[in-house]
Amino acid sequence: MKILVQFDCQIGDYSHSAYDIFKDKKSEWEYCKEFWGITKKNILEDNVFWDDAGMNAINVYSETEITDEEAATLIKLGVVYD
């Protein structure tokens, strides 16, 4: 099993969703840290984190367990990158 995580990203006035697949279940901070490469835990509000420059924000919108086959399909379709 793998974990599909949907992130809400706020970059300036622009917001979008992004997805990634993780091998193990983690805390919301750990997902955001690994996905965005954040080194400092700057908390904007509950489970919403600033990037290192304190200009953009990210949070986990959802996490879903998926099979290895489903993960391979998402990678093949370009929804996430391996």
Residue listed under structure tokens 């996905």: 35
Q: What is the percentage of the chain residues whose pLDDT exceeds 70?
A: 100
Q: What is the mean pLDDT of the chain?
A: 94
Residue 15's pLDDT is: 96
- Over residues 7-34, the pLDDT tens digits come to 999 999 999 999 999 999 999 999 999 9
Give the integer Cα–Cα distance in Å for 54 and 43: 10
- Over residues 30-46, the pLDDT tens digits come to 999 999 999 999 999 99
